[in-house]
Structure 1
Amino acid sequence: MVAAMSLIWLAGCSKKAPEAEAAVPVIALPVQAVDGAVAGRYSGDVHARYEMPLSFRMAGRLTARYVDPGEQVKQGQPLAQLDPADPSLQLAYAKAALDAAEHRLLFATQQRDRDEAQFKQNLISQLQLQQTQDNYASALAGRDQARQQYKLAQSTTLVADHDGIITSRQAEVGQVLAAGQAVFGFAQSGEREVYVDVPESRVGGITIGQAAMMNLPASPGHSYTARVREIAPAADAQSRTYLVKLAIDHADASLQLGMTADVALQGSKPADAMVTIPATALFHQGEHPAVWVVTPGDSKLDLRPVTVERYGERDVLIAAGLKVGERIVMQGVHAVSAGEKVTPIAPPHAEDAPQ
């Protein structure tokens, strides 16, 4: 009996204490706050609301230019001159065409008057009267068109139709120009816009009328408000970006064409209401996005659903589900499980840390 009790006692003394659960090292860092009032920052440049080429409406040889790029011009100011000898034949042709059109109109008017009188006496049919009236209408339109062509052929001087600035020179003195060929680039005075190129991954988050703040590096401390006026329907074939035009409110003389602008599109959230995480930290719980959160008390993992505001190229903007300072798994999200005890470590490379 004594021997048996001794064996039992020795066996109980030989049992080891249970080992503590081993913690798995994971790359985990606190999430950072971002300004939720800013939906995106872009670089752009200042343009006029209306930019267009200026050209003659008739062909001829350019004999004089009265303005140079960068000059301010007034409405009605002469800008360039064609050689009057060149369009003289066009003027003669236009005059002959006008004379012929007026003659056809005179004949059509006389024929209409005769047929209307005969129709009242039942001497011609309704169909014949309608044909005569149609011929008269065609002759009248032809006369008006020939008159406008003759008026255009008389003008050999290019004038500014609005106040503005000459932005470029596209023809030289002595050059023979075709009708409609550009002579100058022109930007109207008044409204100003800023053009920005937006990546295709972010253009879906921009809407017409969205507010923005704009700063000019050339004028520190001076900001402008703007609103999205137009979004290009297709991406540029070379850069694969979308051109977004923003109308600038209360533009002043300091907004020079071509200036560089820093544009901050406004979002729907107040400042510091969102957090940003690396794209590698995002996990999916079924069809819903989620992240692995390290609980502060026991350093165990908890899979928490989140609401994504915007997907970027390297990061994700989270609108709800996370708080500033909470530690989440940044990499290797598919190699961990719920309730697993972990030891947070920093990324091995500094460039992998969230900016």
Structure 2
Amino acid sequence: MVLRTLHSLLCGAALALLTVASAHAHLQEGAPQAPPPTPVRVAPVREESLAPRKRVFGELRAAHRSSLALLEQGIVQKMLVREGQVVKKGEVLAALDTARINIAMHVHASTIRAAHATLVEQDAVLVRAERELRLLESAQAAGGTNPLEVSDAQSAVSIALAQIELAKANIAVLDATAGLLKTRLADHVLYAPFDGVVTKRHVEVGSWLAEGAAVVELQATDKLEAWFDVPQELYPFVMVQRAYMDAQRELGAMPELAPIERRMMEVSDALDLSLPVSALRVIPAIDSRSRSFAAILDVPNPDATLPAGLALTGFIPTLEPMPRLVVSRDAIMHGDAGPFLFVVRDGLAVPLQVRIDFPVGEDVAIDASGLRAGEAVVIEGNERLLPMSKVAAVSSTSSPVAAGASK
């Protein structure tokens, strides 16, 4: 009896231990696990010797903008474009009614035919006058005619020759007038002188158009110009920039010019996107009221993605270079408190507020308290990070970065 009771107690205790162990295992399996590190791509912070930049403001303007007119007057018969329509060079934009000019050309063609008939008539008159003159000269040689009659016949030949020349000159004038009428007929049609976009229409179908009056306004889109109002004290620095760009254009891409490219003027749009610019031109005249001058750069726009009138910011290098921290543009994030970036320290994405000083090609020069050259900043994957998130960093050259990159 005692042995049976002891056996029952032992079995119950064993079952209880098994139940507790199983419950503990289930609790461990259902417990929340920490999320895995977020994979990100990083690039090192660099220190470069860069000249400080002065900020100037400007706008994009169309390199070609024309108010197109017709040399003829008349009723607008066709208006083939509307505002915002993209047109190609040589495309018909508008046309005037040509009924009256066509009638004038038909009348003129009849006049030319009459002038040619007159010439044929004058040729026949000349032939007759020459025949009469030869007959009279033969009779004079035989002593059977009056000298006055010979003289009159000679005059008749001269008059016939003069009439022929007059008829030929008249035909030449009529031919020139015919060419003018053809030109006037062509001037009834307005063609696009370059590729562009119609920005304004001044007339409609059926309206009267005076000679030389504007029909449409056309703006080129493939090439724009960046216009900046630059303070007069920056004139020497802008002239240095022009020399840099001239050297780059003449020599092309050369390794020797790499240091110069880091000293070039930078231009960005309202979204802080860098724009390619070239061919810096300067108007060497200081405005007496604003004490500034105009600096102009060419901006290619082959895909028509940039609109005229877009606000621009230019950064002109000045003074002597000094050490500055440089990071990729992709590292910069924008929050409510301003721009910031994530620096990888001990495997964590540590946010740091930064101040953007100026762009440098695809990079930006920044000022950030506590950031040091050589540290790794996140350039890809930063949009999905939270402060102090664990990260698995891979460098921009695809080699792993040590987790403790805070030294």
TM-score norm. by structure 2 comes to 0.40
- Whose radius of gyration is greater, 1 or 2? 2
Structure richer in helix, relative to its length: 2
Higher normalized strand content (fraction of residues): 1
Scaled by the length of structure 1, what TM-score is found? Answer: 0.45
